[in-house]
Structure 1
Amino acid sequence: MNNNKGFNWFFPIAIAAILLFFFSNMNGDSQQNTIDEEGFYKLMAEGKVQDILIYKDTEKADVFLTKEAKAEAAAKTTAPAKNPMSAFDFNLGPKPDYTLSYGDLQLFLEKFDKIKADNPQIATKKDYGMGKNPMTELLFNALFWIGLMALFYFVIFRRMMSGSGGPGGQIFSIGKSRAKLFDEKEKIQTTFKDVAGLEGAKEEVQEVVDFLKNSEKYTKLGGKIPKGVLLVGPPGTGKTLLAKAVAGEAKVPFFSLSGSDFVEMFVGVGASRVRDLFAQAKAKSPAIIFIDEIDAIGRARGKGNFTGGNDERENTLNQLLTEMDGFGTDTNVIVMAATNRADILDKALMRAGRFDRSIYVDLPELHERKQIFDVHLAKIKLDPNIDREFLAKQTPGFSGADIANVCNEAALIAARNGHEAVNKQDFLDAVDRIIGGLEKKNKAIKPSEKRRVAYHEAGHATISWLVEHAAPLLKVTIVPRGRSLGAAWYLPEERQLTTTEQMNDELCATLGGRAAEETIFGNISTGALSDLERVTKQAQAMVTIYGLNDKVGNISYYDSSGQSEYSFGKPYSEQTAKMIDEEISKIIETQYQRALQILRDNKEKLDALATKLLEKEVIFREDLEDVFGKRAWDPELTEHPVSSTHNEESETKDENPGAEEVQAPESGTQL
């Protein structure tokens, strides 16, 4: 994949090591201690020689001193410098203290025997052996070193090279691109058939693929190949999956990597990797480069850079901008990128000529969720009575990844319960598990606390049933689940716009839990933490973002560009801030008093619902119908599914502040 081979440092290092070995052996041989015959006879007469090994074929002998003689010699003289290569000497015997060169062997032995006869106390021993061949020993050591170098090269050095994508390992090729190449050798099985929903997004990217395959169809009319395609959307909506489908359909080289792959602690590495990536892509053009999570390097320059610590990231971005739209960029290389945070990307990166197309991949709607269920359920052994339309209705606000998780969790629950096939209840239990958390049936709760939790959840259910625009309740439980002591499930209306009346009704229903505690017990608890957090955010959005407050007026302080994240000030005065705080408090208190009044007017029904909840621990829509009767304003709701989601923090800041974001269910009581 990498055409830039670079300089291989292994062979100069190996040659230097071998030369060091030979020179050290030569120096070691020259530094060996020698002794003449007269000196040997003197040492022997003094009783300092313990043993002598005589080599008849070389006229040499090795002299070994006694321990006392060695200690005496060490005290008198300075020890010679130790040979660093002595650790690799393969002579397993003891080292001789001296090497003796004798003349005539017979005369030497006669003199040796005479000295020993004159001094009976001498215990010097003599022995015979074969002399060492210097060339054989040198060759043996050289072979050892060559084998050691080969082991180092093939086991360690080559592994470093393969681990970092180029010769020299991570040290010498740190600036090389880490992109994974998918071509005719490594085919991707994912195609557009595996991508359910996302019809508009698929049409856009299919046109890009078609341009690479049949470029003449467009160029003959004067069209130019788009430089870049940016996929934007919430997490789990299928941006990376769409890119995989492009790789599977394009039949051209596809380079895939993450934005964080450019980030390194060394200066200049990110820009070098960008250059290397585009060099590889141009060499294999037409080609596609896919950068996932591009916000890791594409963040707007000059934002939050107070200490200069982000200069390297900015240099990487500058190089990316140059490669995408600089001189010599007439090759057929298309850059695809994905991000969840398009609002923080640099404007120069987003302009036409770099990323010509920005495709928003939104959360799937009802019919798209049904298609996604079809894809994932094809791999699961299902009960014949499973209704995919019903499952799609149970999962509003779920992304494609969430739906895949639901299907997998349902299969695990079915296997845990010993079912032969995954049935409807398994899917409903899976939705409850993902939204609310794990049930904790064995959690010890005092009866007084359990009664308070029951009234809290009954208060939510009562208000949501009696006000027009609140989401209809589907299920209430006081079984602890996750971090909550109780939870309520609702089926929110999938709408694109929300009126003031609808938001007020949602606020009132959310405050119903605390209002029920005050109505029944005359005091309140900390269990409404999540409720208060949600209503505060929603009331703040009504006043400061959506312009739904009469006193503040038709003003929005929402900044879709994300510039306000790096500002220390507020876009309004202190007087306006005081007015905003007052209006937020007024909205919340008005709806709280409204909730109190509704519960006081329906106290008997609230008691009946709480009593039923204490008895059953879990109640459903039909239980509310038994107490309150049919809801007058939603007669079309004839189904009563077991579980669904609740519109929590429905008005959150995103790229489209007018759109409603459907999230996890309400945790009615949380400590």
Structure 2
Amino acid sequence: MSENKSPKVKISPWLIYGLILGVFLLINVFGNGFNFSNPKPTTLSKFYEFLDSGQVDKVVFSNTKAQVFLKKEALGNKEHKDAKNDVMGNLNEKGPHYYFEIGDLKTFQESLKAAYDKKLLNTYAKEPEGIWGDILSLLLPFLLLAGLWIFMMRRMSGGSGSGGGQIFSIGKSKAKLFDEKNDVKVTFENVAGLEGAKEEIQEIVEFLKNPEKYTSIGGKIPKGALLVGPPGTGKTLLAKAVAGEAKVPFFSLSGSDFVEMFVGVGASRVRDLFKQAKEKSPAIIFIDEIDAVGRARGKNNMSGSNDERENTLNQLLTEMDGFGTNTNVIVLAATNRADVLDKALMRAGRFDRQIYVDLPDIRERKEIFEVHLKPIKKSEELDTEFLAKQTPGFSGADIANVCNEAALIAARKDKKAVDKQDFLDAVDRIVGGLEKKNKIVTPEEKRAIAIHEAGHATVSWMLEHAAPLVKVTIVPRGQSLGAAWYLPEERLIVRPEQMLDEMCATMGGRAAEKVIFNKISTGALSDLEKVTKQARAMVTIYGLNDKLGNITYYDSSGQSEYNFSKPYSEETARVIDDEISLLIETQYKRAIQLLEENKDKLIQLADILIEKEVIFKDDLETIFGNRPHEKTIEITTE
């Protein structure tokens, strides 16, 4: 049975200071004799008239002023009509009713004594000196200034649990601590695929749980592990799983948390982070996006030698492997820009292990789909193997997005479960964008778009190494007026003939326009961009050009982006441009030749596309017959 803990009530410090100020004001005001009467000013001579006529009951005086209290029967006189009521308009029997300046105090006291002896006055008294009121009036401004100063200091130092303006704690670490008090729900069961990465990460957890197992035979616990890979592949998710699985303190923060506008703050935060981790050792530190502070030093010529980011990196290097380093603190870091990291950070002894977290293959995508489909109400005939085949090149984050988008699409259609078509629509939505069926397209433009997309489909169908077609549409989606969807083969290495076939299929759209209309249009912009990148990669990166030979101008270290000159001569630049143009034009002519040979089928396919707006693989089989060199993909599980 769980206890219901009442929420803690937070009292604003401003309320406390306001109450203190109010108390001071009340003491000061009441100490000076304030009440709710409404005494009227009078003169000394007029007072003596009241006194001689026996109307005065009591007199209270100080060194300079006197207050007059009238008898009850005197309040009925008309001359006292302005003085007999208090500030609320009620009869004021208690008084005081008048006040006046005394003048000579000794003479005034003698007059009061004489009136008292004649029974004209019931009592008179000199009021005590208001020493406390005077003291408070004198000290109150200083007390208020001292209170305000204490409040500002507590706020700036982060006292009383306040979170704003922590100037004195600016050098403290911003890492979030996960321990037995902070339960993390993510475990290794929530991480599908990534078997190699999980194995190494799990071993790091075992290092900290049972270090004697490894140190007893002379092994040393590694200092750190660097998770490298494209965005969305699960690097941060792996770190969350470590926090959920490890029974040791886990400090999590981002690389940008070290960055601040003040000099020396980054290095101070690094020191404080490792100090906290050593106090709680064995412990794990996770730094996400470490390239924010780990970028190679000395490359940015515009910055001076006293660069704040470099100071932060220097401190991090020292803490990870310097004098007095504690071996019971392991550092995990994640980045998708490992090429720009400093070499000193990457060496053994700091990040002993570099774990590459790659995009999932078809088998791993199936496992990831099964994880993300658990909370979704799906139809019974939904096949995760089919979904894995339909999402080549998708990361784990992309697959999570597909599952969520499919659920939203099914809910939009008032379905009770998510089916296969919803997932296909979700993939189309993510890859191509939202359909724009209300976009105004003239019949001539519609036919040109249909010919263009039919050209892609025809050329890719006839080529051996081109990606197999899934569907073709002329419904505008996103920024495109039409699209052809393919299911590319997942290859570890790519040969020149495969790249040339893909380039030829990409040029099929413009080639179809040339064959049918003998004109070309601007609709092939994305195709030209894609094919130009492929041709440039073949010539300058992969060394697949016979004229240039086995040479590459690719720099994996990332240093070339800081150079103002290219690593080849002007003559070589002309050769590169000529070879790129020759590759593209050759494949363009090849596509034209294929379409000339199948012109009737191309027109037939375009007519069906205009009529249906969307055609699938079955429609192409009806026109062209079975595709030569058809390949099937099988998922094997061990």
TM-score (norm 2): 0.79
Deviation at 1:308, TM superposition (A): 2.1
Higher relative contact order (CA 8 A, sep 6+): 1
Which whole-Å deviations, capped at 9, do the CAs of 1:113-143 have from their partners, x for residues lacking one? xxxxxxxxxxxxxxx9998974564687799
Q: For the residues of structure 2 that align with 1:100 and 1:635, how far apart are their CA atoms?
A: 119
Partner of residue 173 from structure 1, selected from 163, 169, 172: 169
Could you list the per-position Cα deviations for residues 3-35 of structure 1 after superposition, in whole angstroms to 9, with x for gaps in the alignment? xxxxxxx9xxx9xx99xx99xx9xxx9xxxxxx
Distance 1:100 1:271 in 2: 74
**1:479 aligns with one of 435, 457, 475:** 475
Question: In the alignment, which residue of structure 1 is the partner of 2:89?
Answer: none
- 1:494 is paired with a residue of what secondary structure? coil
How far off is 1:59 after superposition?
Answer: 2.4
Q: Which of the numbers 348, 356, 360 marks the counterpart of 2:356?
A: 360
Q: Indicate whether 1:522 and 2:518 are aligned.
A: yes
Q: 1:357 to 1:614 in 2, by over 3 A?
A: same
Contact persistence 2:470–2:616 (CA under 8 A)? yes
2:269 maps to what in 1? 273
**Offset of 1:304 from its aligned partner?**
1.9
- Residue 324 of structure 1 aligns with which residue? 320
**482-491 or 139-148, larger mean C-alpha shift:** 139-148
In the alignment, is residue 418 of structure 1 matched against residue 421 of structure 2? Answer: no
Q: For residues 185-224 of structure 1, what are the structure 2 equivalents within 5 Å?
A: 185-224=181-220
2:60 corresponding residue in structure 1: 57
- Cα separation, partners in 2 of 1:56 and 1:438, compared to 1, 3 Å: farther
Residue equivalent to 1:510: 506
Given the alignment of the two structures, is residue 616 of structure 1 paired with residue 616 of structure 2, yes or no? no
Q: CA deviation at 1:299?
A: 0.3
Q: Is the 8 A contact 1:166 1:173 kept in 2?
A: no
Maintained 8 Å contact 2:233/2:357: yes
Partner SS for 2:368: helix
Tell me by how many angstroms 1:155 deviates: 8.6
Paired with 1:252 and 1:238, the residues of 2 have a C-alpha distance of 22
1:576 aligns to 2:572 (yes or no) = yes
Aligned to 2:560: 564
Distance in 1 (CA, whole Å) between partners of 2:337 and 2:411 is 39
Contact 1:102 / 1:108 at 8 angstroms: preserved in 2? no
Structure 1 residue 537: Cα displacement: 0.6
| Segment of structure 1 superposing worse, 302-311 or 432-441 | 302-311
Contact 2:277 2:329 in 1 (8 A): yes
The answer to whether the 8 Å contact 2:456/2:509 transfers is yes
Please state how far the C-alpha of 1:330 moved relative to its aligned partner: 3.4
Report the 3-state secondary structure (helix = DSSP H, G, I; strand = E; otherwise coil) of the residue aligned with 2:483.
strand
Higher CA-based Rg: 2
> What is the CA deviation profile of residues 505-539 of structure 1, one whole-angstrom value per residue up to 9, with x for unaligned ones?
10000011111111112211111111111111100
Task: Count matched residues.
Answer: 553
Q: Any gaps of 5 or more consecutive residues in structure 1? A: 1-9, 30-39, 42-54, 64-95, 110-127, 639-671
User: Does 2:402 match 1:382?
Assistant: no
Aligned partners of 1:437 and 1:481 also within 8 Å: yes
Distance 1:552 1:284, change over 3 A: same
Partner-residue secondary structure (3-state), 1:484: coil
Q: Distance in 2 between matches of 1:164 and 1:412?
A: 45
Query: What are the equivalent positions in structure 2 for 1:89-238 lying under 5 Å apart?
Result: 102-105=105-108, 134-135=130-131, 137=133, 169-238=165-234
Deviation at 1:164, TM superposition (A): 12
Q: In terms of mean alpha carbon deviation, does 159-168 or 310-319 score higher?
A: 159-168
Partner of residue 302 from structure 1, selected from 298, 304, 324: 298
Gaps of 5+ in 2: 1-12, 33-42, 45-57, 67-98, 113-123
The equivalent position to 1:457 in structure 2, one of 446, 453, 467, is: 453
Secondary structure at the aligned position of 2:308 is classed as: helix
SS in 2 for 1:485: coil
Query: CA separation of 1:292/1:580 partners in 2, compared to 1, >3 Å: closer, same or farther?
Result: same
Contact 1:454 1:478 in 2 (8 A): yes
Q: 1:315 corresponds to which residue? A: 311
- Structure-1 separation of matches of 2:548 and 2:127: 106
Question: What residue is the counterpart of 1:349 in the other structure?
Answer: 345
1:602 maps to which of 598, 601, 604: 598
Separation in structure 2 between the aligned mates of residue 100 and residue 439 of structure 1, nearest angstrom: 97
SS of 1:476's equivalent in the other structure is strand
Structure 1 residues 243 and 57, CA gap change in structure 2 (3 angstroms): same
| Percent of aligned positions that are identical | 70
Change (3 A) 1:627 1:267: same
TM-score normalised to structure 1 length:
0.76
Q: 1:8-19 counterparts in 2 under 5 A?
A: none
> Do the aligned partners of 1:165 and 1:178 also contact (CA within 8 Å) in 2?
no
> Counterpart of 1:365 in structure 2: which amino acid?
D
Structure 1 runs (4+) greater than 3 angstroms displaced = 60-63, 96-109, 128-169, 635-638
User: Tell me, what secondary structure is at the counterpart of 1:171?
Assistant: coil
**Cα deviations by residue, 1:590-619 (Å, 9 ceiling, x for unpaired):** 001111111111111111111111111111
